Amino acid sequence: MTTMIESAKLAERLNAICDAQPFVTRFLVRALGSGETIGRGADEETPSASTRKTSIMMAALKAAHEGRLDLDEPITYEKRFAEEVASGMFRYLTPGIVISLRDAITGMMVLSDNVCTKMVFERLTLEEVDSYCKSIGMSGTNHRFLIPPLALSPDHSLKAVTTTTARDQVYLLQTILDAQDSREAADRLGCSQALCAYALQTLKNQILRYAIPSRLPFGVLVAHKGGTGKRGRMNAGIVYREGSPFYIIAAYTDEVPQEMPDGTPGYTVALETIGRLSRACWDELRS
């Protein structure tokens, strides 16, 4: 009964955070101690932005596990990779640099570098990644483009971008986490447990500390991937407490205005909203 009361209190707090803003916020939280979930629009299709890259990473690792890709393959950075790219640092570097496919995956994840994303995606097909998601149970995720066009308007349709659901992202993160100790979970992802360990460590290596980690105590470990979309900001990750997985949260803001009534940029408030959702989980789930 105590758990139910605490969950109701947390749900009320989470919904109040969302209700305070004029934009849409969809989320799913899973308390890893009890397995309970709290959600809001968790099954609704929403722009994925770069949170899609976690599934791209896992599709690439599956191909490596099957021997179709070599993580040590050298890739030369060519100028063409920087075209229509608005994230990461590689676009500012001198063409000719050689990195491995493994390092390209790392760059795609820890800095959301879309030059690295292009390097990875050139070794896969869009259909392959989309089918991979469906095959592992991410039925609400639809990969539609390699890199979203820069000229997208803030009111673009869902079909103009890759979309996902908060539930799909929590499921993917939970399965990666389970695969650390479960061969069955690793098999479900089509990877070895060693590759799943690499995937989790890559998520832990995330450099960007906005959204989910932003209001947590300094030094708290979060294995996560964020996203920057024309319609909002998003983040999905595993939060640790005292070295152990504590909760998983996937949060997606949508229909975020360019500017709030007080002049604050909409994206600032969107990121802050996700940070507040995460902090509420940190406070209430530990009580």
pLDDT digits (tens, 9 = 90+) for 10-55: 999 999 999 999 999 999 999 999 999 999 999 999 999 999 999 9
Q: What is the pLDDT of residue 86?
A: 84
Six-digit token pair at 207?
Answer: 């450099």
pLDDT digits (tens, 9 = 90+) for 110-124: 999 999 999 999 999
Whether the predicted pLDDT of 8 surpasses 60: yes
> Whole-structure pTM over 0.85, yes or no?
yes
Query: Cα–Cα distances in Å, from 273 out to 41, 213, 269?
Result: 16, 12, 6
Interatomic CA distance for residues 53 and 61, integer angstroms = 12
With cut-offs at 50, 70 and 90, classify the pLDDT of residue 2: very low
Q: What is the mean predicted confidence (pLDDT) over 225-250?
A: 97
Interatomic CA distance for residues 42 and 29, integer angstroms = 9
Amino acid at 219: G
Element (H, E) at 193: helix 193-204
Six-digit token pair at 287?
Answer: 């009580």
Whether the predicted pLDDT of 4 surpasses 70: no
Q: What is the pLDDT of residue 203?
A: 98
Q: What is the pLDDT of residue 1?
A: 38
Q: Round the average pLDDT of the chain to a whole number and report it.
A: 95
Interatomic CA distance for residues 72 and 133, integer angstroms = 24
pLDDT digits (tens, 9 = 90+) for 137-196: 999 999 998 777 777 888 898 988 999 999 999 999 999 999 999 999 999 999 999 999
Whether the predicted pLDDT of 286 surpasses 90: no
Interatomic CA distance for residues 116 and 63, integer angstroms = 17
Q: What is the pLDDT of residue 276?
A: 98
Six-digit token pair at 77?
Answer: 């950075």
Q: What is the mean predicted confidence (pLDDT) over 54-75?
A: 98
Looking at per-residue pLDDT, the higher value among 19 and 209 belongs to 19
CA 255, 259, 261, 267 torsion-angle sign: positive
Q: What is the pLDDT of residue 190?
A: 98
CA 145, 149, 150, 153 torsion-angle sign: negative
Share of the chain above pLDDT 90, in %: 89
Q: What is the pLDDT of residue 152?
A: 81
Interatomic CA distance for residues 8 and 121, integer angstroms = 42
Element (H, E) at 186: helix 183-189
